[in-house]
Amino acid sequence: MAGKPKLYYFNGRGRMESVRWLLAAAGVEYEEVLFTTAEELQNLIKCGKLMYQQVPMVEMDGMTIIQTRAILRYMAAKYNLYGKDLKEQALIDMYVEGMRELYDIIMFLPLSAPEEKEKNLSFMTEKATKRFLPVYEKVLKDHGKNYLVGNQLSWADIHLLELILMVEECKPGVLLAFPKLQEFKARVSKLPRIQKFLQPGSPRKPPLDDAGLEEVKKIFKLEKGIFLKHSTTIVAEF
């Protein structure tokens, strides 16, 4: 029997959280190797497994997989969450790639300089309500099915629910103008495996608090206030 997937990351959401969501939806148990210091990350780099000297990294099926999208696509295909044919896979990829931009904006919000926090939150809210959420509202309305692609759960649905919950953490009530997304959230949240993942005590990571932010800055040697300046996203390596 193959061993459990092993996830290498820090003890927080970051780019690994989508991997945790996908594995939870697939009902797959996994192990985590969580580093807490810059030295532990550097040791992982020195061992030669990190092709681009970046995490996330996952070991599974005799492979070492890096780069978030590569990890997620492999898992989605392996666990039957990637559509039934190439056309459905293309749609899933389009929807997920669109979500990633908003996902990254939210992920970097805690790195805002104090004087930029409100501006950055407003920027995120505008992007969410004017550009991204309307797309998925329309897809669900036009499609007329319970899920974004075909009529079965896919990686796109899992990622959309994760994103919706992240937006709501930042801006409660944001779904009031999106009835189809409200229905989608309620429906997918009740799927047994996902419902379990949403319960307290699950492997799901909480939002980044001040202590967690300081730990992340030390591990990745991040400077303060590098997130948004004049509506420009600056990408950090975590």
On whether residue 56 sits in a domain, the answer given is no
CB 236 within 8 A of CB 222: yes
Q: Can you give the pTM of this predicted structure? A: 0.91
Residue 19 lies in a domain: no
Residue 217 has a pLDDT of 85
Q: Is residue 169 part of a domain?
A: yes
All residue ranges of the chain with pLDDT < 70 are 1-2, 223-238
Structure tokens at 205: 């990571």
User: What does R_g of the chain's alpha carbons equal in angstroms?
Assistant: 18
The confidence score (pLDDT) of residue 218 equals: 87
Which CATH number characterizes residue 131's domain? 1.20.1050.10
- Residue 223, classed as helix, strand or coil, is coil
Domain that residue 98 falls in: 86-190
Q: Which tens digit of pLDDT belongs to each residue from 103-123? A: 999 988 888 878 888 888 999
Question: What total number of domains does the chain contain?
Answer: 1
Please answer whether residues 71 and 96 qualify as being in contact, where contact means their C-beta atoms are separated by less than 8 angstroms. no
